[in-house]
C-alpha cells in the first residue's frame, strides 16, 4: 500500500482521536457537574428529584442518532457543529450520574445521618463530611458508565459535524474502505477500554481509603 496514504491516515487518526477526547472530556465534565449538582439538589427537594430523573429517563430512551437529529433544527443550541454534539452527549450522560448520585446519598445508613445531624452538623457539613464521601463509590460507578458509553456515542457525533473518530468510520462506510473503518473503530474501542480501566483503578483507590 502507498506509504503516503498510510501516513495521511495515521495523521487523521491522531487528530480525530484528539477531537474525540475533547468531545468526551468536555461533555462528561459538564455532565458530572450537572448530574452531581442536580442529584444533590434532588436529595434535598423531592420536586427536583422527580422532574430531573423523569427528564433524564426520557432523554435516555431516545436513540442517540435521533437525539442528534432532534437538536439539529433548534436555533442557538442546535445546528451543525461541535456544540450540538457536546450538548447531546451531555444530555445522554446525565442519567447514570444523576441516578447514582441520588442512590448513593439516599443509601447512607439512616443512623449515621441521624447521629451526624444530632451532633450538630449543618446541611453543608453533612453533605461534605458524610454523604458525599459515603456516596463516592456509587457516584464514580455512574461516571464510569457515562464515560464509557459516551466514548461509543461520540462516534455518531460525526453525523452532525461534531468531528471525532466517527468521521473516519462514516467516511470508510461511505467509500467501502475497511481500513478507514478500522482506523476509526479500533482507537475508539481502545479509548473506551483505557477509560474503563482508569475508572476502575480510581474506584479501587477510593474504596481502599
Partner 1 sequence: MERGQTLVLLGRSGSGKTTALRLINRLLEPTDGAIHLSGEDIRGVDAIALRRHIGYVIQDFGLLPHWTVEQNVSLVPRLLGWPREKQRARARELLEQVGLSPEIFGQRRPHQLSGGQRQRVAVARALAANPGLLLFDEPFGALDPLTRHEMQGQFCELRSRYDLASVFVTHDLLEALALGTRIAVLHSGKLEAMLSPDEFFDATTPVARAFLETLPVEFSSGRRR
Q: How far is the CB of 111 from partner 1 (least distance, A)?
A: 4
Separation between Cα atoms, residue 98 and residue 38, nearest integer Å: 7
Q: How far is the CB of 33 from partner 1 (least distance, A)?
A: 24
CA distances from 109 to 88, 120, 130, 139 (A): 35, 18, 10, 16
User: Do 97 and 134 contact (CB within 8 A), yes or no?
Assistant: no
Separation between Cα atoms, residue 104 and residue 109, nearest integer Å: 10
The residue (of 17 and 43) whose beta carbon lies closer to partner 1 is: 43
DSSP string, 123-153: HHHIIIIIIHHHHHHHHHHHHHHHHHHHHHH
Q: How far is the CB of 103 from partner 1 (least distance, A)?
A: 17
Rg (C-alpha) for the chain, rounded Å, is 20
Q: How far is the CB of 123 from partner 1 (least distance, A)?
A: 10
Closest CA to 108 of 76, 137, 83: 137
The residue (of 62 and 121) whose beta carbon lies closer to partner 1 is: 121
The residue (of 34 and 105) whose beta carbon lies closer to partner 1 is: 105
The residue (of 135 and 151) whose beta carbon lies closer to partner 1 is: 135
Which residues of the chain form contacts with partner 1 (CB under 8 A)? 109, 111-112, 114-122, 125, 129-130, 133-134, 209
Q: How far is the CB of 106 from partner 1 (least distance, A)?
A: 16
The residue (of 63 and 120) whose beta carbon lies closer to partner 1 is: 120
Q: Sort 104 into a burial class: Cβ within 10 Å, 0-12 / 13-18 / 19+.
A: buried
Amino acid at each position: 500500500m502507498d506509504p503516503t496514504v498510510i501516513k495521511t491516515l495515521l495523521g487523521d487518526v491522531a487528530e480525530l482521536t484528539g477531537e474525540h477526547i475533547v468531545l468526551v472530556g468536555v461533555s462528561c465534565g459538564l455532565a458530572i457537574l450537572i448530574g452531581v449538582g442536580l442529584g444533590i439538589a434532588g436529595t434535598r427537594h423531592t420536586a427536583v428529584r422527580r422532574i430531573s430523573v423523569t427528564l433524564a429517563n426520557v432523554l435516555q430512551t431516545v436513540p442517540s442518532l435521533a437525539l442528534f437529529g432532534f437538536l439539529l433544527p433548534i436555533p442557538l443550541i442546535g445546528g451543525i457543529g461541535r456544540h450540538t454534539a457536546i450538548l447531546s452527549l451531555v444530555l445522554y450522560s446525565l442519567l447514570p450520574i444523576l441516578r447514582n448520585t441520588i442512590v448513593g446519598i439516599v443509601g447512607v445508613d439512616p443512623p449515621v445521618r441521624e447521629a451526624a445531624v444530632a451532633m450538630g452538623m449543618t446541611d453543608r457539613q453533612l453533605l461534605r463530611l458524610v454523604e458525599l464521601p459515603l456516596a463516592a463509590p456509587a457516584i464514580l460507578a455512574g461516571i464510569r458508565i457515562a464515560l464509557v458509553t459516551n466514548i461509543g456515542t461520540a462516534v455518531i457525533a460525526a453525523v452532525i459535524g461534531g468531528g471525532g473518530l466517527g468521521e473516519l468510520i462514516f467516511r470508510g462506510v461511505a467509500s467501502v474502505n475497511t481500513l478507514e473503518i478500522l482506523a476509526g473503530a479500533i482507537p475508539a474501542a481502545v479509548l473506551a477500554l483505557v477509560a474503563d480501566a482508569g475508572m476502575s483503578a480510581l474506584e479501587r483507590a477510593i474504596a481502599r481509603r
